Amino acid sequence: MRTHYTNQITPADAGKDVVVCGWVHEVRDMGKLMFVLLRDRSGIIQITAKSGVTAEPVMAALHGIPKESVLRVSGSVLACKPAPGGVEVSPKSVEVLSVSKSPLPMDVTGKVKAEIDTRLDNRFMDLRKPEVAAIFKLRSRIVSAGIKYLENSGFIEVHTPKIIASASEGGTELFPIAYFDKEAFLAQSPQLYKQTMMSAGFDRVYEIARYFRAEEHDTVRHLNEIMAFDIEMSFIKDEADIMDVLEGLSLAVIKSAAESEEIKFLKKEIEVPKKVDRLRYDDVLDMIAGQGKKIEWGHDIDTEGEKVLGRIMAKEGKDIYFITKYPLNIKPFYTMPDTNKKYARAFDLEHTGDEISSGGQRIHDHAFLVKRLKHWNLKPENFEFYLKAFEYGMPPHGGFGLGIERILMKILNTQIREVVLFPRDRYRLTP
C-alpha cells in the first residue's frame, strides 16, 4: 500500500510522488492550512494541506480527523526546513483506512505520562510510542544475535513440550492444568528434555524457551511467564566449559545491543566488558561480610546480598560477573557435586546485583542420579522417561538458562515489565 516508510523520504526526494501509510500523531488545523503528522514504524512525516493548493475533498477528509486514525496519503514531496526530517508531503489524495475513537485511553505523543498499569492495560497503544517500540525492536535484535552466536558455536535448536507431567526445578512453582484425566503442569523449564537430548547424541542444543513459574513474587525482576536462552552441551570437562559459552553468548548479546540503532535512539550507552570475573561463593560471602552483610555458609545469596555484591563490583567498574562453586545443598537435584562434595559444579551469572543466568554440570551417572532424587525426597518413578535416558549411554554434560527479560532489563537499566509485551504477574492475566 505504500511506496516509502516515512524515514525513507529525504529532502533529496523533493518533487517525487510518494505514498505513505500510518497513524495521525498530531493535527494542527488552522482552517485554510492544516498540518497532519503521520507516524509509521520508522518515524513521523508532516502532511501539509493548504486551501487553494490541496484539492477540496482532501481538505475535507483531513478536517476533524481524530488523532490515531489510520491514513493512506499520496502526494508529492517538498523540502521544508522546519518540518520533521526537513520534508513535507503535499497530499493529492487521502484514504481514511480506520477512524480512531476519541478520547484516547492514553497519550501517545509523550506529553502526558501514564502509570505503568494504564500503559500495560492499553499496551497496543503504549507500543505506538517510539521509545517503547524501540525496546521490542531491541529485544528482537538481541534474540537474533544470541541465536547467531549459538548456531555459529555448533548448537542446534530444539523445541520441547510445554505441557509436562513432573517438576524439574522443585515442586512448589508449578501451574497445574486440566489435561483430560491426567495430572499435568505448564513447564517450568526444558531442563529434563534438554538433558535427554544429550543421551540422543545431539551434543549441543538450544531452545528459546518459555518458563512458567507459579511464584507469588511481586517484584521488578520476576514474572510468571518468561523466556530464556536455554542450552545443554555434552563431552564437557567440567562446568568451566559451559561458563565459556555463557560468557560468549552474554557478551555477544550485549555487543549487539551496544551497537544497535535502538540504543542510540534511547540515548543509552553500554560498555561491552572484555572479560567476566569468576568469583567463588565462599569469597563472595567474605566480600559482602566486609560490607556488613552476613550470610551463613550453605544459604543462598539473598537479594540484599546480591545488591551488596553488585555495589562492590560496580566500584571496580564490573557490571557482569559469575558466582561459582555454590554449596551443593542449594542447587537442584540434577547438579554435579564438585571434587569436594560440599560444593556444586554450578554457577550463576550476575549483572549489577541481579541474577541473569544459572547453570552447571549435571550428574550423568544413573545410580547416583537416583540417589540424589531420593535425597531430595523426589520419587524416581515420577522421572521415568528422564532416568531411562541415563541408563543407555549418557555423556558428561551441562548447560544453563539465560533469562531474556533479565539480560534485556539490565542492558536498559529498567524493570522487567518494560521489556515484555504482555507481562504475566500475580495480578495480571490480561491483556
Interface with ligand AMO (CB under 6 A): 169, 189, 191, 211, 213, 215, 222-223, 226, 228, 355-360, 399-401, 403, 405-406
Shortest spacing between CB 258 and ligand AMO, in angstroms:
20
Residue closer to ligand AMO (CB basis): 62 or 356: 356
Residue closer to ligand AMO (CB basis): 125 or 228: 228
Shortest spacing between CB 396 and ligand AMO, in angstroms:
15
Residue closer to ligand AMO (CB basis): 138 or 356: 356
Catalytic residue among 355, 366, 418, 424: 355
The single-letter DSSP state of residue 277 is E
Shortest spacing between CB 188 and ligand AMO, in angstroms:
7
Residue 306 annotated as catalytic: no
Host H or E run for residue 242: helix 239-258
Helix ranges restricted to H, 48-175: 56-62, 116-121, 123-126, 130-152
Catalytic residue among 4, 25, 119, 221: 221
Residue 355 annotated as catalytic: yes
Shortest spacing between CB 69 and ligand AMO, in angstroms:
38
Closest C-alpha among 430, 18, 429, 420 to residue 222: 420
Residue closer to ligand AMO (CB basis): 80 or 330: 330
Catalytic residue among 72, 74, 100, 215: 215
Contact 349, 341 (CB under 8 A): no
Shortest spacing between CB 191 and ligand AMO, in angstroms:
4
Shortest spacing between CB 351 and ligand AMO, in angstroms:
9
Residue 377: other Cβ atoms inside 10 A = 8
Helix ranges restricted to H, 302-423: 303-315, 366-375, 384-388, 404-412
* Strands of 320-324's sheet in order across: 156-157, 204-212, 225-234, 397-403, 354-361, 346-351, 320-324, 277-280
Residue closer to ligand AMO (CB basis): 36 or 394: 394
Residue 213 annotated as catalytic: yes
- Listing DSSP states for 142-204 in one string gives HHHHHHHHHHHTT-EE----SEESS-SS-GGG--EEEETTEEEEE-S-SHHHHHHHHHHT--E
Rounded Cα distance between 311 and 287, Å, is 11
Shortest spacing between CB 343 and ligand AMO, in angstroms:
16
Residue that is written with C-alpha cell 548448537 in the block: 155
| Residue closest to ligand AMO when measured from CB atoms | 403
| Phi, psi at 404, each rounded to 5° | -65, -40
Residue 139 annotated as catalytic: no
Catalytic residue among 123, 210, 222, 280: 222
Residue 128 annotated as catalytic: no
Rounded Cα distance between 322 and 265, Å, is 31
Residue 215 annotated as catalytic: yes
Residue closer to ligand AMO (CB basis): 129 or 213: 213
Contact 1, 74 (CB under 8 A): no
Residue closer to ligand AMO (CB basis): 130 or 423: 423
Residue that is written with C-alpha cell 484539492 in the block: 55
Residue 345 annotated as catalytic: no
**Catalytically annotated residues:** 213, 215, 221-222, 355, 358, 406
